[in-house]
A and B are shown apart, each in its own frame.
Chain A
Amino acid sequence: MTRWLHRMHFRLRTLARRRALESDLDDELRFHLEMQTAANVRLGMSPLVADATARKEFGRIEAHKDDYRDRWGARLLEAFVEDVRTGLRQLILHPAISVAIVIAMALGIGANTAVFTVFNAVILNPPPYAEADRLVRLRAAAPQAKVEDVLFSAPEIRDLRAQAGTLSDVAEFHYMYFILLGQGDAQRVSAGVVSSNFFAVIGVTPILGRGFLPNEERAGAPGVIVLSHQYWRAHFGADTRVVGRQVEMNDRVHTIVGVLPPLPSFPNEADIYLPTSACPLRISPEADQSRNMRLVSALARIGGGGGGLDEVSRDLSGVAAHLRSAYPESYPAAGGFDLSAIAVNDDLTGRFKPTLIALIASATLLLLILGASVGALLLARTVSRRSELAMRIALGAWKGRLFRQFFTEALVLTVLGAGLGLLIGYLALPTLVGFVGQFTSRASEINLDRAALLFTLGVSVFTALLFGSLITLAANFEGRGVTGPGAMGGARLRPMFKALVVIQIAVSFGLLSTAGLMLRTLNNLTSVDTGLAADALTMRLSLNFTKYWNNDERADYFGRVLDRLAATAGVDQAAIAGTVPYVGDSLAGERLVSTSIRSEGTLLRTTLPVQIASHNFFSTVGQDVLVGRAFTRGDVRSAPQVAVINKTMADRYWPDRSPVGVELQLPLQATVPTESANGTVTIVGVVSDARRRLDIPSVEEIYRPISQDSPIQAHIVVRSSLERTELLMRVRAAIRAIDPEQPIDSVQTFDEARHASLSPTKSTATLLSLFALIALSISALGIGGVVAFSVNQRTSEFGVLMALGAERRHVLTMVLREGLELAGAGLVLGLGLAALFTRSIHSLLFGVSEYDPLTLIVVAFVLLAVTVGACVLPARRAASVDPMRALRCG
């Protein structure tokens, strides 16, 4: 290795100091000659004879010099420099084609670099936890009830620690929010509530201070918090003396004990972390003992001796079986209970995978198109150099030397293209991070790092090699062709050209179809009628839950908010709801009722989302009351418990009669969150359906009045003709007047929420369309280039035809027909390819089949039009050939 380095250094040095070395060489050899002459003189020769003898003995000086130079290795490098120069000369000789090729390469390589960078950052690179491959997310499921992912109860976490032998440690976490007080307006802070071993399990050491201690998990322990890196920078100005400072949240003062390094949010964003003792619900004796109070998620580290994920899953199944038989009343057979583990990175990036696969597939296909297109163009250029090549082959240029030259020429093009591509990639990076950020929290790790540069380099060299071989092959054909009988230039290469064109069309078909299907999906989602008013303005209202721990207190609070808002000038309608449509919020007030809902003794469903709504809610958001009534002020806690259901539910269970008056048994909000209560509610009305997510049709829904069933977090919904800032100011003032400890944030209209929920789809569609557009333009370039070349080669043929009486339009149709034939072949092949390819984006589609005929037909027409367009110019030139000139030149 060191010797090799020495040699490289030597060679490069000699190359760099060529001129100096040449004169050194002269000096050294001249010195030798002089010494020899002097010796000869001493032997008695006359100076003249002595010199001649010395020279004779020495041999030809120049030949020696050459030997010498070869030793420098300069020959090889010189040849390389010469090849680069030839390559550049070729570039300048054909500026239009060269610029086109370089741009095509830049787009193709840039797109691939970008996709690879993302892939490398979020999939290949492990997340920034120690030994991330041994870190797993545990999952509990109720397979019989078709619930994939249920939370864990505190006893289960203890059981896992004690019984799962393959796991060295298990940490629990859940998310909640706190109200930050004493620093101006009350602020909502999102918090990860974790067991004291959490940081040890994920293998992260705080950069300042410490993590949590085991005794801080106990009820009544003093409040401590660990800051996330982002929150520390944003709210504490990255102050290194922050440890020990005190922060007032909810009803307690908390001491900052540590600051974390930058981490991807897991899986939700957490501004701060607190030990489990901070969550009043989690720390209650009920939650500590009950297997039915499922509150937390679990992360675990695979033990040192432990095997892979399979072994862990087997181990977990065993634990689950043991729990099922030990506590049959907690794990009823109707729901089932199973435990499994997934790699932590799959958990972090799982949502991004379908999109990423589509992107990787598109980028790869783009590279294929690029190869075919640029290959064809280079080939055409080679054919037009055939006399030069024939000369060189005749003069004895060996194949290796030719290949070296073509490889270098291709390298010049790719290096230029790749350089430009990297620049594009670099400029597109922030957009890319934003795009990926919609799917996974690891987006912040995306960086144009060494791996990405190496990848680009690899792709460039690979393409150069590919093109180099292709051209060498062609050159050999051509070089021999000139002397042979078929000196028709390019004729032998026709099949190769045709194949390249067909490949481009076929692959473009695949890319365009994907993009088309994504655009159709976007269009379908955009035009979904959700049955909700678009202009309703919503804002999140987070209660200081320690202050309003009691359901009655919350009901009372929400009642006052509603009254105050109704009295606010300019507010036309005001309501409060547990959740807002289109917004996926893990802390949302929607409750998944996991025990049975019974009606007149029959089990209706095992799970169902219960939506919370105030009186006025349905009229405010635009849902019509179809049967019975909506909620009223009279539906207080002491009054009979009531519910409203949506049309889907009414049609499903009571298709023939009105459900009004039917009694349902379902879990109710108890007075305090640590208790549970089941009760009977009476259906008092049916409302029209409203979609809460664009891509999911209306599901069965039960609404409960906020005055009877009050969540901790809610959303105010107002309609007003006031300008937004003014309206917001008035609402804030109203809320502050009741109690200033309740912050308001996430202000948006239903329409804005709807658009925001579309944004991942929109960006995916945009990105895939961009890929398709690049593919289309590269193909058009390649096809146009090849047809132009073919027309050029057949000039004399056209001349003969026209001399024999063919008309302009005959020649025109001839050329066009050739193009169309190729397009036809490409489309047939492309249809097969598209079927394969669009399947990869199946899960991203909405309201359109992956074999959507309309999309395929439109794409086929677009491709036909582009092919014809690319052929028209060359065809017209062919048709305007002057027969006499063509014949003479041919």
Chain B
Amino acid sequence: MASKVDLLQGTLDLLILKTLDLRSNHGWGISQRIQQISREVLSVNQGSLYPALARLEEQGLISAEWGTSENNRRARFYSMTKSGRRQLETETAHWIRMSDAINRIVEAV
């Protein structure tokens, strides 16, 4: 396993939304997906994943319902809502602007 990086404050929501933008998924699936796509660089602390999911649900950005997992187990599936999609757009734009700015500073020094 490559060395893991702790998630930047506030980015977990963005990652969850981005993951769910592709397809609905359960908590475990979301954490695996984030690890996979980031090539194992980013690891999601389960202790923050579920509260984050609950928070997003509470804000109406994602919705949850019980479904059946790929191995035929009862699992809670999260999916995007309309306002979640809007939120993702603004957050993505925000993130790109910010990472761009940080990159420029880091490279300039």
A-side residues, CB < 8 A to B, are: 3, 6-7, 10-11, 24, 27-29, 31-32, 34-36, 38-39, 57-59, 63-64, 67-68, 70-73
Contacts and interface: CB of A to CB of B under 8 A. Distances in A.
B50 A6 contact: no
B51 A3 contact: no
Contacts of B71: 38
B95 interface: no
A28 B27 contact: yes
B23 to A, nearest CB: 17
13 contacts: A3-B83, A10-B58, A24-B76, A28-B50, A31-B73, A31-B74, A31-B76, A38-B71, A59-B46, A64-B46, A64-B47, A64-B50, A68-B51
B57 interface: yes
A458 to B, nearest CB: 30
A68 B60 contact: no
A39 to B, nearest CB: 8
A68 B59 contact: no
A293 B72 CA distance: 100
B55 interface: yes
A71 B58 contact: yes
Interface string B8-32: 0000000000000000001110001
Given A3-B60, A31-B27, 9 more contacts: A6-B59, A24-B66, A28-B75, A29-B50, A31-B28, A59-B47, A64-B51, A68-B51, A71-B58
B75 A31 contact: yes
Interface string B47-68: 1001100110111100000100
A7 B83 CA distance: 14
Nearest to A67: B51
Nearest to A57: B46
A34 B73 contact: yes
B50 A27 contact: no
B47 A72 contact: no
Given A24-B76, A59-B46, A67-B47, A32 B55 contact: no
A439 B15 CA distance: 71
A57 B26 CA distance: 18
Contact of B76 (A6, A10, A27, A67): A27
A154 B65 CA distance: 79
Contacts of A36: 28
B69 interface: yes
B83 to A, nearest CB: 8
B59 to A, nearest CB: 7
A20 B70 CA distance: 24
Interface string B32-47: 1000000000000111
Contact of B50 (A3, A7, A34, A67): A67
Interface in B66-101: 66, 69, 71, 73-76, 83
Contact of B51 (A28, A34, A71): A71
A35 B69 CA distance: 10
B60 A27 contact: no
A268 B24 CA distance: 73
Given A29-B50, A58-B47, A68-B54, A35 B28 contact: yes
Nearest to B57: A10
Nearest to A66: B51
Given A59-B46, A64-B46, A7 B59 contact: yes
A3 B59 contact: yes
Contacts of B50: 28-29, 32, 64, 67-68
A11 B60 CA distance: 12
Contacts of A71: 51, 54-55, 58
A648 B75 CA distance: 101
Given A6-B59, A58-B46, A64-B46, A27 B54 contact: no
A3 to B, nearest CB: 6
Nearest to B46: A58
A6 B74 contact: no
Nearest to B60: A6
A65 to B, nearest CB: 9
B79 to A, nearest CB: 15
Contacts of B58: 6-7, 10-11, 71-73
A3 B55 CA distance: 12
A60 to B, nearest CB: 8
A29 B60 CA distance: 21
B57 A28 contact: no
Nearest to A6: B60
Given A3-B60, A24-B76, A32 B54 contact: no
Contacts of B55: 71
Contacts of A34: 73
A32 B46 contact: yes
Nearest to B31: A32
A73 to B, nearest CB: 8
Contact of A32 (B27, B51, B83): B27
A819 B75 CA distance: 71
Contacts of B59: 3, 6-7
A220 B95 CA distance: 87
Contacts of B32: 39
Contacts of A73: 58
Q: Which 8 A-B pairs have the closest CB atoms?
A: A71-B54, A35-B28, A6-B60, A67-B51, A59-B47, A28-B76, A32-B28, A10-B58
A382 B42 CA distance: 55
Contacts of A70: 51
A271 B6 CA distance: 84
A174 B28 CA distance: 85
Nearest to B66: A24
B31 to A, nearest CB: 8
Contact of A31 (B51, B60, B69): B69
B7 to A, nearest CB: 15
Nearest to B81: A6
A541 B26 CA distance: 91
Contacts of B73: 31, 34
Contact of A27 (B45, B46, B74): B74
Contacts of B27: 28, 31-32
B46 A72 contact: no
Contacts of B57: 10
